[in-house]
């Protein structure tokens, strides 16, 4: 797929070096770097049954106060 990208200069240098070193096009080098990054940073698996409630961070004291105020 043909598109236009604006790359950070250091990212461009890495991609350019990879392309030159491996004798591939700049586009292929960028594609491979993106896919390589995805493979190397998998999402940490969420522990089972863990969730994130709404309302922001709260403390032991907040829970205590809520349960006592009934």
Where do contacts with other proteins occur on this chain (CB under 8 A)?
Answer: 47-60, 62-64, 66-68, 70
CB closer to other proteins, 20 vs 63: 63
Neighbouring C-alpha atoms within 13 Å toward the C-beta of 12: 5
CB closer to other proteins, 22 vs 62: 62
The 10 Å Cβ neighbour count of residue 13 is: 11
Dihedral angle, C-alpha 58, 63, 65, 70, nearest 10 °? 130
- Min CB(11)–other proteins separation in Å: 32
- Min CB(43)–other proteins separation in Å: 14
């Amino acid at each position: 797929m043909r598109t236009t990208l604006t790359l950070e200069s250091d990212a461009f240098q890495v991609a350019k070096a990879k392309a030159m070193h491996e004798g591939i096009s700049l586009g292929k080098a960028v594609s491979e770097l993106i896919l390589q990054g995805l493979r190397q940073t998998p999402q940490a698996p969420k522990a089972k049954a863990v969730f994130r409630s709404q309302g922001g961070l709260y403390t032991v004291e907040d829970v205590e106060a809520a349960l006592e105020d009934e």
